[in-house]
Amino acid sequence: MLPRIIFALFAVLGTAATAQTTLRPEDAARLDYFATAAGGAILQALSSGAPADVSALTQALSGTPQIAFDETLNGDWSCRTMKLGGLSPLVIYSPFKCRFGIENDGFTFEKLTGSQRTKGKVTFRDGRAVYVGVGFVAGVTPPAYADLPPDFTSDGSVQTDVAILERISPTRARLMFPSPAMESDFDILELTR
């Protein structure tokens, strides 16, 4: 049954762009700035991070990305946030729980535990697997990204999140957030199982 769902997923990818939520201009700009944000933050993290944290970051960034849209994403994952640049050169948190779910035009994603969470969807945009969602503080019920008002600005408890998803293997992936709204210059959510 699952392979048929994945086949259906790939069948609609060509039309998924019309079904996707339109990106806010500031979030589109963050994605356009991805390489610059990553480069500066990674250099700062590697040059000034604690040796154990640098080793963990190197492991998270290792591996050649595979096809992102694969049924092996579906289900529960362990996820660890790495914050690069900004307030500190490199901060790595303990693992949390995350989950991917298959939909007809992509994957849902949710960080289920921890004080800072995110919930949204990964779809195919401009040749990349792009996550678009809403970051929020635990205990807050956030609106969906598409339901945020046009003049929305982060109030510290809810913010927009955009990231690039790279699946490395059936047991490793990473979501990379350029210029996140809070605390850092670049975030990596390392996913393992």
Task: Give tens-digit pLDDT for 132-145.
Answer: 999 999 988 889 99
With 0.85 as the threshold, say if the pTM is over it. yes
Distance separating alpha carbons of residues 120 and 130, to the nearest angstrom:
10
User: Is pLDDT at 4 greater than 80 in this prediction?
Assistant: no
Angle between helices 34-48 and 25-32 (to 10 degrees): 60
Q: Which of 8-17, 130-139, 140-149 bottoms out in mean pLDDT, i.e. has the lowest? A: 8-17
What's the average model confidence in pLDDT over 142-152?
89
Q: What is the pLDDT of residue 150?
A: 84
Q: What is the per-residue pLDDT for 20? A: 61
Mean per-residue pLDDT for 79-107?
A: 94
Q: Is residue 127's pLDDT more than 80?
A: yes
Picking from 157, 133, 111, 151, the residue whose alpha carbon sits closest to that of residue 30 is 133
Q: How far is CA 67 from CA 94, 96, 111, 129, in A?
A: 27, 25, 22, 9
pLDDT for residue 173: 97
